[in-house]
A and B are shown apart, each in its own frame.
Chain A
Amino acid sequence: MANILAVDDAATMRQVVNFTLTDAGHKVAEAAGVDEALARAAKSKFDLVIADLNMPGKNGLELVKALRAMPDFRFAPILMLTTEHRDELKAAGKEAGVTGWLVKPFDPTVLLDVVKKVLK
Chain B
Amino acid sequence: MSSIIASILRNRPLVLARLGFLLLFPWVWAAYLLPQWALALCGGLSVLAFFAGFRSFVTPMFARRRSNDPGLSVDQVVKMRAANPNQPDLDLKTITGELGQFRRQLNKWGGTSKTSSSKTADAKEGMGEVISQTEQAVLALTMSFRGITTKTRQQMETAMSLLRRNASELTVSEGAWLSLPDYIRAYETQLQEVVDGMLKFSSASDEMLTHQKQIREQSIIIDELLDELRSMAIHIGRLALDSSVAAGESGKNREVLVRLTDSIRETSDQAHGLTRTVRQSLEKIRDELVVTYKIINKAAAIAKESAQRAKADVSQLNVTMIEKTKEVEVSLAKINSLGLDVQQDVNNAIVAMQFQDITQQKLEHVRGSILTDVMQNLDLLSSETQEMMKKDLFLAIRAEAERSNGSSVSVAKSASVAEASTGDDSGPVEVRDAFRTTGSAPVAEKVTLF
Contact = CB atoms under 8 A, between A and B. Distances in A.
B354 A104 contact: yes
Contacts of A12: 353-354, 356-357, 360
A16 B354 contact: yes
Interface stretch (A30-38, A40-48, A71-79, A105-113): A105-113
Given A107-B347, A108-B347, A109-B347, A83 B358 contact: yes
Nearest to A104: B354
Contacts of B353: 12, 16
A105 B347 contact: no
B350 interface: yes
Nearest to B354: A105
Contacts of B351: 105-108
A2 interface: no
B350 A20 contact: yes
Nearest to B347: A108
B355 interface: yes
B347 A10 contact: no
B150 interface: no
A118 interface: no
Contacts of B350: 16, 19-20, 108
Interface string A9-41: 010110010011000000000000000000000
Contacts of B438: none
A11 to B, nearest CB: 9
A116 to B, nearest CB: 16
Contacts of B2: none
Please tell me the size bucket of the interface on A: 10 to 19
Interface in B142-162: none
Interface residues of B, number: 12
Interface in A87-120: 104-109
A13 B361 CA distance: 11
A35 to B, nearest CB: 20
Contacts, number: 33
A20 B346 CA distance: 10
Interface string B336-378: 0000000000110011011111101100000000000000000
A12 B364 CA distance: 15
A25 B176 CA distance: 44
A50 B350 CA distance: 17
Interface in B40-60: none
A55 to B, nearest CB: 11
Nearest to A106: B354
B361 A105 contact: no
A109 B355 CA distance: 17
Contacts of A83: 358, 361
Nearest to A9: B361
A10 B355 contact: no
Nearest to B352: A105
Contacts of B360: 10, 12
B354 to A, nearest CB: 3
A110 B354 CA distance: 14
A83 B354 CA distance: 10
A108 B361 CA distance: 21
Q: Which of B346, B355, B361 has the most CB atoms of chain A within a 10 A radius of its CB?
A: B361
A111 B345 CA distance: 16
A13 B354 contact: yes
Contacts of A13: 354, 357
Interface string B267-294: 0000000000000000000000000000
A108 B354 CA distance: 11
A107 B344 CA distance: 10
Nearest to A111: B350
A37 B353 CA distance: 23
Contacts of A10: 357, 360-361
Nearest to A110: B347
A108 B352 CA distance: 12
Contacts of B358: 83, 104-105
Interface in B307-362: 346-347, 350-351, 353-358, 360-361
A19 B355 CA distance: 16
Interface of B: 346-347, 350-351, 353-358, 360-361
30 contacts: A10-B357, A10-B360, A10-B361, A12-B353, A12-B354, A12-B356, A12-B357, A12-B360, A13-B354, A13-B357, A16-B350, A16-B353, A16-B354, A19-B350, A20-B350, A83-B358, A104-B354, A104-B358, A105-B351, A105-B354, A105-B355, A105-B358, A106-B351, A106-B354, A107-B351, A108-B346, A108-B347, A108-B350, A108-B351, A109-B347
> Ordered nearest first, which 6 A-B pairs have the shortest CB separation?
A105-B354, A12-B357, A108-B347, A105-B351, A10-B357, A16-B350
Given A16-B353, A16-B354, A105-B354, 5 more contacts: A12-B357, A83-B361, A104-B358, A108-B346, A108-B347
